[in-house]
Amino acid sequence: MTQIPTADPVPTTETGDGTSETPAPARSVLLSRPGAVEGDGPDAGVAAHYGDPLREQRLLVEGLAVVDLSHRGVVTVTGPDRLSWLHSITTQHLTGLPPHESRESLVLSPKGHIEHDLHLVDDGTTTWITTEPGAAAALVSWLDSMRFMLRVEVADVSADWAVLGEPSGAEAQDGELLAWRDPWPGPVGDTAAYGPVEGHPAQGRAWREVLVPVADLEAAVGDRDLAGSWAAEALRVAAWRPRMGFETDHRTIAHEVDWLRTAIHLHKGCYRGQETVARVHNLGRPPRRLVFLHLDGSGHTLPAQGAPVLLGERQVGQLTSVARHHEDGPIGLALVKRNTALDATLVAGGVSASQTEVVAP
C-alpha cells in the first residue's frame, strides 16, 4: 500500500556499507493470538485483523473489543514548566491543563505545515504524548532543541509503554495508568470548524488510547475480543478523522483537513506556524479540501492509498485513506483541489467515487 510522504520521515540507521535503512518495527506480543495477520506500512508490528475485520468493527462499535496500538510512539515530558512550555511551541491551549483532561495539539513548520500530531494528557506530574508509529524519536529530538533554559525533561518511552485503543465508554481496566480521550469532532476551545458542526458523522463518537506498560499488555487485554487496525481505520475514515501521514503530506495545512476543530486554539499567543494559521483563517481559503468518498464496491479490490483522484482525465487530488466499512461498504478520504465541484463523480484509482463534503469549498 502506498503511503503519502510525511513531513517527518521515520528515523533511519546507518549500515556497515554506508547506506541507511529504516529499523523494523517491534512486533507486538498480541500477534501470537489466533488468526492474527500483521499489518504493513505504518501499521506494521500490530495486527491488521484477526480473521474477520467486519465482525471486529461491529464489536468495536458495541464496545466489546480493543485494538492493539502498541506500535504508536510514547513520549513523556516532566518538570514544572512542561505545560506552559508545550503551550508556547504547539497549537493548542495547554497552560493550566487539569490532570487527566485530554488535548490534541499539532507541531507546525515555520510555514504552517503539519509536522506532528500529539495526543496529550497530563497526570499532574508528567505529560504523556502518543504519536504516530516511528515519529517519537523525531519529536523528542525537536522538543529537546526547543528546551532552552526551561525546567523540562523529554524522554522517548515507547519501548516500555504500549497503547490500546477502545471505545471510551468502556470501564477502566485494572492496572491502567492513564487514558487519552479523543476530542474529535469537537469543536474544542476557541477555534473554527471548516466542516459541519451540527450533524457531523462523528458526533457522539467515543474513543480513547489507554497507556499500559509493555510487560502488562496481555494482562490489560485479558479475555476481551481483539480488533485489528483495519477495523479501527474503517471507523476513523467513517468519522472523517484525519491521520498524520495519511491525510497529510509535506505541504498540508490544518485548514485543509478540518484539524482546527480539535487541535488549534486561535487566540493563544505566538507559536511556530501561527502566521499561516491566522492568515488563511482570516483572509483566504485553503488550496485543497478533504472529501469523504463512497467507492464503487462492485469490484473485488479497493484502490490503493495514494491513488490519483481524477475528474474526467484531469487529476484533481489523491486518495489518502481507504477502508471497508461494516455498514457503508468501501469508503475513503481524499484531498482534492478546492474548486472541485461537489456534484462531480470522481474516479479514485480506477474506481468510481461519489463525494460528501468534509471541508467546505
User: What is the rounded distance in angstroms from the CA atom of residue 273 to the CA atom of residue 70?
Assistant: 30
Is residue 185 reached through a cis peptide bond, with omega within 30 degrees of 0 on the bond before it?
Answer: yes
Residue pLDDT, tens place only, 182-240: 999 999 999 999 999 999 999 999 999 999 999 999 999 999 999 999 999 999 999 99
User: What is the rounded distance in angstroms from the CA atom of residue 302 to the CA atom of residue 324?
Assistant: 9
Residue pLDDT, tens place only, 243-253: 999 999 999 99
Q: Give the ranges where the chain is alpha helix by DSSP (H).
A: 53-61, 82-89, 136-145, 217-221, 229-238, 260-263, 274-283
Q: Give yes or no for residue 26 having a pLDDT over 90.
A: no
Burial of 168 (0-12, 13-18, 19+ CB in 10 A): middle
DSSP sequence for 177-207: -EEEEP-TT---SS---SS-STT-TTTT---
> For domain 32-263, which architecture applies?
2-Layer Sandwich (3.30)
Average pLDDT, whole number, for the chain? 91
Q: Could you tell me the pTM of the whole model?
A: 0.91
| Domain chopping of the chain, boundaries | 32-263, 287-357
Residue pLDDT, tens place only, 27-57: 999 999 999 999 999 999 999 999 999 999 9
Contact 291, 258 (CB under 8 A): no
Fold of the domain spanning 287-357? Elongation Factor Tu (Ef-tu); domain 3 (2.40.30)
